[in-house]
Amino acid sequence: KTQSGCFSTYDWKQIFVGAGNFKPVIFISLDTEDSMNDHEDTNGSKESFREQDIYLPIANVARIMKNAIPQTGKIAKDAKECVQECVSEFISFITSEASERCHQEKRKTINGEDILFAMSTLGFDSYVEPLKLYLQKFREAMKGEKGIGGTVTATDGLSEELTEEAFTNQLPAGLITADGQQQNVMVYTTSYQQVKYFWCATNSQKSLYDSGNRDI
Amino acid sequence: MAAAAGSGTPREEEGPSGEAAAPQPQAPTSAPGARLSRLPLARVKALVKADPDVTLAGQEAIFILARAAELFVETIAKDAYCCAQQGKRKTLQRRDLDNAIEAVDEFAFLEGTLD
């Protein structure tokens, strides 16, 4: 019996791990794509390389919205989608301004200060203080970890992905089946993130591997 | 990338006892600076890099942006919910967001971006 699901084929690589057909192994996806996190959106990979098409996962957005309104409140689906679009606009808006300032000062890398300055300029002054606090905590946390945070590039940020993404990503529930003795492992990755580890459970044993990228 | 057993120990150990347990983000509160952002950094990073004028973005920048985006969502949700309450509704609807965007100066950049 093969475990299967509905995935967006765009940008996905499917990797089988665990050769034995009868070894129960466990599926883990560290992918940040929302298709795994949100049942409403399983097919709708809003992933694209155009700025206007990249959104943050609706489940995450909805959760933050829920926490902001009274508990008795409800949120219409199109309202969630609307905010989802607005957030992307917001990020692009700030980024654009920050990038401009960066260029003006003949720097190549947008840093935290650029973002804060852009916020202030664009009327989000009220965010600046809380963000400074947050930045402080982040810097303190990073100090002990691996030195000063460096530049993020497309291939960078391995350990960063491990720590941060581990907190913000939900592993798909219900993908582990205990039907009979047989389970398959599928490890998914996208161009944005490589799978860093997966669980391989045989009977009650667990081991941790770094799978890297393996094509079949 | 070479596969190496045990490299990169994850912070959140997942102990699947026959089931996958998702690492749930802690703390429902959104106290500033209290915890890590609840938005996936890779996606934020993707958005930033999609901007043609951006060459590089530092790690800090991405972190702050993710947190700022969170604050933005909270703010707009709260503002919009006020509109819903004024309309004696408990469900936040799309029109509440439209109203909030019109009413709040900071959200002026959103005008015209939604159909």
Binned at pLDDT 50, 70 and 90, residue B115 comes out as low
> Quick check: A211 and B3 CB within 8 A?
yes
Q: Which of B39, B50, B109 sits opposite A50 (nearest CB)?
A: B50
Distance from CA of A43 to the nearest CA of B (A): 17
Contacts of A77 in chain B (CB under 8 A): none
Report chain B residues whose CB lies below 8 A from the CB of A86.
72, 76, 97, 101, 107, 110, 113-114
Closest CA–CA distance from residue B51 to any residue of chain A (Å): 6
Q: Is B83 on the interface with A (CB under 8 A)?
A: no
- The SS3 assignment for A13 reads strand
Q: What is the mean pLDDT of residues B82-105?
A: 94
Please give the single-letter amino acid code of residue A169. N
**DSSP character for B8?**
S
Count Cβ–Cβ pairs < 8 Å, chain A vs chain B.
315
Kindly report the CA angle at A197 between A195 and A199, in degrees rounded to 5? 125
Whether residue B93 lies within 8 A of chain A, CB to CB, comes out as yes
pLDDT tens profile B70-81: 999 999 999 999
| Interface predicted TM-score of the whole assembly (ipTM), two decimals | 0.71
pTM for the model stands at 0.57
Closest CA to B47 of A78, A44, A32: A32
Q: How many C-beta neighbours within 10 Å does residue A126 have?
A: 13
B15, two tokens:
């102990």
Report residue B38's pLDDT band, with 50, 70 and 90 as the boundaries: confident
pLDDT values of chain A reduced to their tens digit, one per residue, 216 residues:
444 444 443 444 444 444 444 444 454 444 444 444 444 444 444 444 666 689 999 999 999 999 999 999 999 999 999 999 999 999 999 999 999 999 999 999 999 999 999 999 999 999 999 999 998 888 888 777 654 444 444 334 333 444 444 344 444 443 444 344 444 444 444 444 444 444 433 444 343 444 444 444
- Give domain limits for chain B: 41-110
Q: Domain B41-110 class?
A: mainly alpha
Secondary structure E strands in chain B: 56-58, 91-92
Smallest CA–CA distance, residue A19 to chain B, in Å, is 16
Q: Which residues of A touch B9 (CB under 8 A)?
A: 208
Between CA A90 and CA B18 the distance in angstroms is 41
Band of pLDDT at residue B113, cut at 50, 70 and 90: confident
Q: Which of A119, A201, A209 sits opposite B3 (nearest CB)?
A: A209
- DSSP conformation class of B26: P
